[in-house]
Amino acid sequence: MADDGDLSSQRRDGIVIGDDWPGYSLDLFSYPAHYAGDLDCVIIPHGVIMDRTERLARNIMDDLGNHDIVVLCVLKGGYQFSVDLVDRIKALSCNSNRSIPMRVHFIRLKSYLNDQSTEDLHIVGAEDLSFLTGKNVLIVEAIVGTGKTMKTLLKHVEAFKPNMIKVAG
């Protein structure tokens, strides 16, 4: 068992998979036949992803206490991750003495025009986010690459003066 220092480091740094990791053999998994020619291995099994999603849900509950959460789901990529994460938070909330009311709102980010990246970020569905004022906001995004898009989104959300902003991605 790791000591507290190791656990806080894991929480902060996440799980690191080295570039030389060969993955798991396909013989260990069931997968749709139409993927047969496209897969070489499984890097992260679905169960591990779901376990990590539950751990993240527990961390969110610890960080936000009993306060309402407004989940701001970034479409399209963040949808399934958002659904899984919200389901885990709901399940944990139902099985504890704490209840965390949640409201889910969807936005879509566009920084491409005809397959070309542009400097401008257009946020669809974020025209009036005044309901975020004084709320705890959880932004759920599937992939945070360079962070440029997320920085722009955070600046936009901060303008509505939420109580707290957390990002899960």
pLDDT tens, residue by residue, 50-93: 999 999 998 888 887 667 889 999 998 888 999 999 999 888 88
Instruction: Flag whether pLDDT at 40 surpasses 60.
Output: yes
Taking alpha carbons only, the member of 72, 73, 69, 70 closest to residue 99 is: 69
Q: Residues 120, 111: contact at Cβ < 8 Å?
A: yes
Average pLDDT, the chain: 81
How does residue 112 score in pLDDT terms, banded at 50, 70 and 90? Answer: low
Domain boundaries, the chain: 44-168
Write down the residue that tokens 């003495």 correspond to: 97
What confidence score (pLDDT) does residue 162 get?
Answer: 92
Write the DSSP string, 18-29: -TT---B-GGG-
- Look at domain 44-168 and name its CATH class: alpha beta
What average pLDDT does the segment 152-158 reach? Answer: 89
The answer to which of 41-45, 54-58, 123-127 has the lowest mean pLDDT is 123-127
In this prediction the pTM is 0.75
